[in-house]
Amino acid sequence: MSNRVNIAKAAPEAYKAVMALSNTVAASQVPKPYQELIKIRASQINGCAFCIDMHTHDARSNGETEQRIYLLNAWRETTLFTEEERCILTITEEVTLISQRGLTEETYAWASRLFDEVYVAQLIMLIVTINAWNRIAITTHMQPPHR
């Protein structure tokens, strides 16, 4: 794979703005384990190796189990995820795959039953942010470190 532009160096102000958004959403009331599930699942859908590597590592550091990480791309087929997590993963998939149908009324109503408006807004912003990072990493060919 060829080297491509380093956004942090070539467009530092834009990069800093995305980083500031990341820091803002990371400080939300959404628990860190849920944040990492969002980041991993969106990155799986988008095929972002750099972000999958980073966020599976971060998820483990936040106490996530190997089994749940391995089964995340098949979360509908297991009972390992709570109703809240299942709702969050559904929102993540619908927002990430926005061109297919977007966030459906059914999913939004489900989220509204489980979470307040601020929490739903924070979930959406977390999803939007990881999708931005996925696009940066994929288009610039960012590579995960060799561990």
In a domain, 54, yes or no: yes
Question: Per-residue pLDDT tens for 52-104?
Answer: 999 999 999 999 999 999 999 999 999 999 999 999 999 999 999 999 999 99
Task: Find, among 36, 19, 47, the residue nearest to 127 by Cα.
Answer: 36
In a domain, 1, yes or no: no
Query: What average pLDDT does the structure give for the chain?
Result: 96
In a domain, 115, yes or no: yes
pLDDT category of residue 2 using cuts at 50, 70 and 90: confident
In a domain, 3, yes or no: no
Domain hosting residue 86, numbered range: 8-139
In a domain, 145, yes or no: no
In a domain, 47, yes or no: yes
Q: Quote the number of domains for the chain.
A: 1
CATH number of the domain that residue 125 is part of: 1.20.1290.10
In a domain, 36, yes or no: yes
Residue 136's contacts (CB-CB under 8 Å, 6 or more residues apart) are 7, 18, 142
